[in-house]
Structure 1
Amino acid sequence: MTSILLHPDRHRKIRALFDEYIELYAGRDDRLTTLFSENFSGYAGGGNELVTDRDEWVRITRQDFSEVPGRIRIEMRDIALQDLSEEVVVVTAFFNIHLPQPEHVLSREVARLVLIFRLEGEDWKIVHSGISIPYQLVQEGEVYPLQRLQERNQVLEALVAERTRELNEREAFYRLLTEDTLDVIWRTDANFFITYISPSDERLRGFKAEEVIGRHATELFDADGVIIAKEAMNKGRAAQHDRTNLGFMSFEASHRCKDGRAIWGEVFSKAVRDEHGTITGYHGITREITKRKQMQDQVKELAFYDTLTRLPNRRLLNDRLCQALAASKRSGQHGALMFVDLDNFKPLNDKHGHFVGDLLLIEVAQRLKSCVREMDTVARFGGDEFVVMLGELDVDHAASIALAEVVAEKIRTRLSGAYCLQVEHEGRAASSVEHHCSASIGVVVFLDHEVSPDDILIWADKAMYQAKAAGRNAIRFYAADGGE
């Protein structure tokens, strides 16, 4: 996903809206609800319950206000704003909540709030909210009534199970109830060939019932979804062989549409057994969750990728380094890790501001990616520090060093070229900032699992400082004996 920098004017506008939200929330002011979009979704407290009904969210907000009617104090720790598109901005904030009770346990915990603003007409509205508070605190203080929502969902699931049993006995009543439901209700025989599917499938995927009935259930899914569905089917067959009653099974898979699109569905399935316990078929419901999956992908993006450069962050780098060590053990081929530190970054920030410094970091990230293979990893370690990891070099140590040196020199040369940074301004023409920057590079060539990922990073960092000490714009390899 392409990174979009926040324009200064938009930054101020969204920050003002966020500050208004915090002030209304702290003051327990019902006008807070006017900031929510009609197409709102949110996670309350520390639970996993996704609220997709705006009226339900308003009810939860008002219940929160009634449980703690006095003004609360929000002690802000950190805040970050990021454009997801021209019309969507995400704000992530970390803070302490001080309730009007002395020595309340919440004041010692850090809460995280994610608000997604979307431009609707001329106004920015909140389309998603997720507040994270340690789960046990939600259980004790119940600032957000997630437990009640979860209990209600359990009641609804039990009702669906009972209703499905009745519908199997009375086919006419079954069809009457399913004509207008948004979820897809379906039934198959013991071999997973579809015997009934509700009209909702045509509204979701575009296929008429006669095009689906008689087909195998795997034809509902795209190639990736088929793999997931077959795993669930095999689990069902194994349960039949073992005479195990699994109850309702669920899985998430991508479904194919008649127009070529793919949508995500959450499938709930249950086996139908005769009086002898033999499975005679399956029935269940499929609920579209495309928007929820997209939101989960965005959350994953924020967790494992740097929001500015879109490069892997430290967490994902550490995971890939562990994988590279395991692969090295299997293949006997060396890998290499490079610690890249920009030599002349701070003066740019001091002279032109962090906005221009961010433009440079984005350009550095693109240049680094252009110097390596698709299989290699380029990560942002923090500030103006980057890490490049190469895999599958050579079984010979000297040859691997030579290969790594070629790539390191390519990176050093590429990063030392002039940077022409285009700074956009709202309401006036863009300006250009020229900057010259080089990099100091420390390299470690590794093999097998002889050392830990932390050791490799430490050694590469030491080699990088040797390059700094040598006058910068240089490459140094780490050696256990302290030499190059």
Structure 2
Amino acid sequence: MRPNRQQLIRSLFDEYIEMYSSRDNRLTHRFSENFSGYAGSSDLLVNNRKEWMRITRQDFAQVPERIHIEMLDLSLQDLADNLVVVTAFFHIHLPIPNPMLSRETARLVLIFRLEHKDWMIAHSGISIPYGLAHKGEIYPIAQLEERNVELESMIKARTCELAEANRQLEILSNTDSLTNIGNRRLFDMMLQTEWSRGQRSNSSLALIMLDIDHFKQFNDHYGHLAGDDCLKQLASTLSQSGRRAGELVARYGGEEFVILLPNIDKQTVLDTAQHIHQLIQAIAIPHADTDLGIVPVSAGVAYLQPSNQQNALELVRQADAALYRAKSAGRNCIRVMNEK
């Protein structure tokens, strides 16, 4: 092909693409009176200039913003002095939040004919494998919008399901699997949270630490399944013992339980510990290897004002030391930090 003819054909094509991409209505004046064409989004063959002008304006009205043509391949053919053909393969990037169209390859065939010294578009055939557009559309925008609504609904449903799954997972990760009360992980988190809150509000924080006395003997005598039932009954009693706002009942480990009580005075802590001890005595879980014939518990009570001079673990240390004194005093009793 002669270089000047190749340059001519390419310039005709580039001018067409620029006007089409920029949605320039002057493109409609470039169609030949003897025009034929088709759009791949419909199943109609157009064989007159007036109808194609209407379709082009409809196209521009449907998507008035500039579109981006990503060229993949181009073929220029010089068929005669007054007839040239361009075949192009490209991706169309529409200014809508959906990449589906841009992943498909479109094919465009343009025939330019020299008419009265002007090169006119005698044929335009574009194949767009996007499925049939709705009536009044060039691009299947309605189909995309319907798909987007469906996807948004699906995403919303999946997001809710994921949020609920995460919520359930969070509950499971903070729950003791045997007793269904808080576990050591939850206690550690709440202890730090309430310690910080106590520092900010200048309020107190108390901890009751409970331990089942002679639990090894209980397991040896009744078996580990009975031991599990004993832990469950004790956990249930603790969780129903009159929960205050912010109070946490948790299994600390093995046969040890903790009750965290924020913003409470010393006397109320002692009354709470005695009430819990009485409730456990009242359920009277049989234990033949004890003097009372029922499962006894020892309790240690600690009471502190959170401050920067000490950390939250000091509360645990004080409660554990009080529990140790209760054990040393003969078990089945309550001891308070710094008291004999």
- 2: CA distance between counterparts of 1:327 and 1:455? 16
Q: Deviations over 1:403-457 (max 9, x none)?
A: 1100010011111224469xxxxxxxxxxxxx72121111110112232122221
What is the total number of aligned residue pairs between the two structures? 205
1:390 to 261, 283, 299: 261
Aligned pairs for 1:61-460 (under 5 A) are: 161-163=98-100, 173-177=140-144, 179=146, 181=147, 185=148, 198=149, 266=155, 286=156, 288-375=158-245, 376-393=247-264, 400-419=265-284, 436-449=294-307, 450-460=309-319
Q: Which amino acid aligns with 1:303?
A: S
SS of 2:303's partner is strand
Higher mean C-alpha displacement, 468-477 vs 350-359? 350-359
Cα displacement (A) at 1:353: 2.1
TM-score with structure 2 length normalisation? 0.53
Residue pair 1:360, 1:419 contacting (<8 A) in 2 also: no
| Structure with greater Cα Rg | 2
CA distance in 1, matches of 2:166, 2:328: 45
**Helix, strand or coil: the match of 1:317?**
helix
**Cα distance in structure 1, aligned partners of 2:225 and 2:138:** 64
In 2, Cα distance between the equivalents of 1:303 and 1:344?
Answer: 29
Name 1:34's counterpart in structure 2: none
- Give a deviation string over 1:218-238, Cα, whole Å, max 9, x none: xxxxxxxxxxxxxxxxxxxxx
Identity among equivalent positions (%) equals 27
Change over 3 Å in CA distance of 1:371–1:287 after alignment to 2: closer
The aligned counterpart of 1:474 is 333
- For 1:164 and 1:363, the matched residues in 2 are separated by 63
- For 1:461, which of 300, 303, 320 is the aligned residue? 320
Contact conserved, 1:372 with 1:407, CA < 8 A, in 2? Answer: no
How far, CA to CA, are the matches of 2:275 and 2:218 in structure 1? 24
2:282 is paired with a residue whose SS is coil
**By how many angstroms is 1:287 displaced?**
5.4
Q: CA deviation at 1:349?
A: 1.6
Cα offset, 1:368, TM superposition: 1.0
1:206-248, Cα deviation, whole Å (9 max, x unpaired): xxxxxxxxxxxxxxxxxxxxxxxxxxxxxxxxxxxxxxxxxxx
**How far apart, CA to CA, are the structure 1 residues paired with 2:232 and 2:279?**
14
Q: Which amino acid aligns with 1:175?
A: A
**What is the CA distance between 1:331 and its match in structure 2?**
2.3
1:391 alignment partner AA: P
Amino acid at match of 2:142: R
Alignment root-mean-square deviation, CA = 3.0
**Secondary structure in structure 1 of the residue aligned to 2:331:** coil
CA-to-partner distance for each residue in 1:160-204, whole Å, 9 max, x for gaps?
A: 75238899xx7861322454x5xxx2xxxxxxxxxxxx3577xx6
Mapped to 2, the partners of 1:161 and 1:470 lie a distance apart of: 74
**Structure 1 SS opposite 2:275:** helix
Residue pair 1:417, 1:436 contacting (<8 A) in 2 also = no
Unaligned runs of 5+ in 2: 1-96, 104-129, 131-136, 287-292
